[in-house]
Amino acid sequence: MGIVEAILLTIITAATPLAIAALGELVVERSGVLNLGVEGMMIIGAATGFAAAIVTGSTLLGFLAGMAAGMLLAAVFAALALGLAANHVATGLALTILGIGLSGLIGRDFVGARREPLAKIVIPGLSDLPVVGKVLFAQDPIVYFSVVLAIGVWWFLRKSRRGLVLRAVGESHASAHALGYPVLRIRFLAVLFGGACSGMAGAYLSLAYTPFWSPGMTAGRGWIALAIVVFASWLPLRAMIGAYLFGGVTVLQLHAQARGWGIPSQAMSALPYLATILVLVVISLRRRGESQGPASLGTPFVPDR
């Protein structure tokens, strides 16, 4: 039972940053914007969040700084992709390269520094239950926040008028503009929300998952978050399930190495990314070219056209 509990705890911890980043990108893509810079925003959030936490001594300020850094990088993307109608794919890739470079600059003085991991919220009595006690009732605040975020995004997109408008913009920005909706403003706010989520996900890596900073510590998680959005067919609750599935694959390689299964560590480290490729191939074959995403996804919008 102890082994099962340990595996479940590590799956939740590994899945949380993926879930938060994927939910943020899901909202961005529902508005019709394709931001491939999730990896860059995550790693700048990790570096800035850790640096701010070390300097100020506050984990909360570290998370806020990580979110602010992610939003700042997202604003740069918005200025290019929305303001100048630049190609979304090229701009997102440039954003990732910029984020990786800036993170190395910001975090260079903090390599090797350590912080205490984020404190957990323990619910007396319930946390003592076998197996599910620590799994459900003794987690850090960001784990609980990720669940609330998923429910909030689902409610916003499905039940609120503003969510309906955002989805309409993603489906046909020309029609939404003709009806008088501010397409660029809606997309800008969505991009900022995605940047805040990616920055928080990155800060979680350096302040909770592994409470230290090292260059490249996101290790491709931003790309996995992008794959989760496609895997989930742009549905928030399904994105949570996808994050936990990919988190389980990530944890599998750690436990396989710990138990000495005789599989090369390099092959096990590649397992999450091989799973990502496999899932995308299967989804593509099942849909046979039929797109389930927003119709205007990745298409620049210029109001006077």
DSSP per-residue string spanning the chain? -HHHHHHHHHHHHHHHHHHHHHHHHHHHHHTT-----HHHHHHHHHHHHHHHHHHHS-HHHHHHHHHHHHHHHHHHHHIIIIIS---HHHHHHHHHHHHHHHHHHHHGGGBT-B-PPPPPEE-TTGGGSTTHHHHHHEE-HHHHHHHHHHHHHHHHHHH-HHHHHHHHHHH-HHHHHHTT--HHHHHHHHHHHHHHHHHHHHHHIIIIISSBB-TTTTTTHHHHHHHHHHHTTT-HHHHHHHHHHHHHHHHHHHHHHHHT-S--HHHHHTHHHHHHHHHHHHHHHHHTT---S-TTTT----TT-
Point out which residues pair with 122 in neighbouring strands. 138
301 located within any domain: no
300 located within any domain: no
Question: For position 103, which CATH number holds?
Answer: 1.10.3470
Radius of gyration of the chain measured on its C-alpha atoms: 19
Nearest to 252 by CA among 10, 48, 2: 10
Point out which residues pair with 213 in neighbouring strands. 111
303 located within any domain: no
188 located within any domain: yes
Distant-in-sequence, close-in-space partners of 1: CB < 8 Å, separation ≥ 6: 130, 131
| Residue 57 confidence (pLDDT) | 92
Q: For residue 44, give both structure tokens.
A: 């700048």
Distance CA 193, CA 164 (A): 17
Nearest to 249 by CA among 226, 229, 279: 279
Distant-in-sequence, close-in-space partners of 264: CB < 8 Å, separation ≥ 6: none
Nearest to 45 by CA among 12, 73, 18, 79: 73
305 located within any domain: no
298 located within any domain: no
34 located within any domain: yes
Distance CA 178, CA 269 (A): 49
Domain around 105: 2-287
| Residue 72 confidence (pLDDT) | 97
Place of tokens 């900073």: 213
Triad 123, 146, 17: Cα angle to 5°: 115
Total number of domains in the chain: 1
Q: Is the pTM of this model over 0.95?
A: no
| Residue 197 confidence (pLDDT) | 98
Distance CA 8, CA 4 (A): 6
Nearest to 295 by CA among 160, 144, 122, 172: 172
Q: What is the pLDDT along the chain (305 residues), one digit of tens a residue?
A: 577 888 888 899 999 999 999 999 999 999 999 999 999 999 999 999 999 999 999 999 999 999 999 999 999 999 999 999 999 999 999 999 999 999 999 999 998 888 888 888 888 887 878 878 888 888 999 999 999 999 999 999 999 999 999 999 999 999 999 999 999 999 999 999 999 999 999 999 999 998 889 998 998 899 999 989 988 889 999 999 989 988 888 777 766 666 666 667 666 667 777 777 887 777 777 655 555 689 999 999 988 65
231 located within any domain: yes
| Residue 196 confidence (pLDDT) | 98
| Residue 208 confidence (pLDDT) | 92
Are the C-beta atoms of 82 and 296 separated by less than 8 Å? no
Q: At what angle do helices 88-107 and 59-78 cross, to 10 degrees?
A: 150
